[in-house]
Structure 1
Amino acid sequence: MIDPHALMKRYFQAFLGHLVPGFIHNINSPLQVLGFALEFVEQDLKEQSETEKVMERIDTAKNQARALSEMVKDMRTLERMGTAEEPVIVGDALRILERVLMCDLFCKHNVRLEVQIDPAVGTVQINGAFTVPAICELLRNSLTALQVVESRNLIIKAYAENEITCLEVTDTGCGLPEDIAPEDLFEPGVSAWPEGIRQTVGYGFPGMGLYCVKEILKADGCNIKLFGKDGFTTARIELPSGMAR
């Protein structure tokens, strides 16, 4: 018997693990600058350089250390948000995801990422352990779909519609299959990725991701819909009215 909650935890761990190479890449530059700055400070002190020059070096080192601290903090916060069953602010979660996605080097260098948060719903609370891993899985799908197209746009939105708070992940990727209804893609074992995607990423798809997303969101009282229009594919999470506070 498939446990979608346990499987979603594995998907979330895989999402975080996928970001590690890019995270290492991103922290490498600040680490190098930090090291050079400290070496220069040491040299300046030996040469009894002007205090102003030494302070400039120290400021550079402090700024790079701060940048490193923020990157580590974002990764730790995302991991905590996605595992602790406690309220998470929508706006906080999406902004952290916006920054952490820069650890996906394909996204960082090839995708136009846009995050839109309606102030009216930015403070809405969600259950982090349910919703955050689901959003991450939808983002993983979008980044996969963008691998084989030239126009690569990824849009994350939070807004209200008819008193319902909606979270959307939209991409300009390979689109939905024409021979399978969107709702059927949430069934276990259903996978409709085109062969070009499979060849590009180098692995197959068991067809469990969207099923787990649907089940974990349903357990939290949320609905999810999948639709395509004008070259855009959108996954929309609709939060229960009790969360809109």
Structure 2
Amino acid sequence: MVSVAVKNLSYEVNGVHILNDISFTHSSGLLMIIGPNGAGKTTLLRALAGLVKFRGSVELDGVRPEEYRRYISYVPAQPSLDLMARGLDVALAMNYRPPDGLWRERFLEVLGRFGLGGLANRPVISMSSGEQRLLLLAAALSRDPRLLILDEPTAFLDVTNRTKVIELLQELAGDGVSVVVATHDIEYTAVADNVAVLKSGRLVSFGPPREALSEELLSDVYGISIRRVDRNTPSYMPELLLKRFSK
């Protein structure tokens, strides 16, 4: 497991504070980062991956992200892909090292889990948005990362593949990979080991879902009424949906 320690992390652009004095420690498992659009989720992921300059500190097993980069796989929410590249080319580019054969095996294994082994030889332009998302996840895992950082990994996916992705992330966390995910799918936070809640660039709550989340907190963060689905699980939905189904 990779220990992630963030202390007094701040980031601004042209005088606008994107992240404000964020501190937390995530020692193991699956961390989900939630919050409304513009809360700073993507910038926080980029800081963890060592892709932006910031004030404060980020340490991964005691070292800076730049020194740990070979062990990190990062998939942005809006990647830029060569539309004529094959799936296999995308995975090779993400490995950016002489191929040893193992990455290819792992890549095909993950694609096969989603029934998408054929993507390896198809050009990106022929793939749906959901297929591209799964292709990138498989490519990221082909590097055998110690820290997996994903921005909206379930975007564009149907309910079957969303569920498969979450199950895969749980398995990875159980096998010792530290997984950090930014997501708008708040219902999936129930399976996380820790949840970080951002609002306007500030960390307003952090910890296990049962401790970090509440109806009052989420309603304030998102500006709408959000209710707990039931007493037994820390899963939440907009009250509008619960009202609809309770009639």
TM-score normalized by structure 2? 0.30
Query: By percentage of residues, which structure has more strand?
Result: 2
Query: By percentage of residues, which structure has more helix?
Result: 1
TM-score normalized by structure 1? 0.30
- When Rg is computed on C-alpha atoms for both structures, the one with the higher figure is 1
Q: Whose relative contact order is higher, 1 or 2, with alpha carbons under 8 Å and at least 6 apart?
A: 2
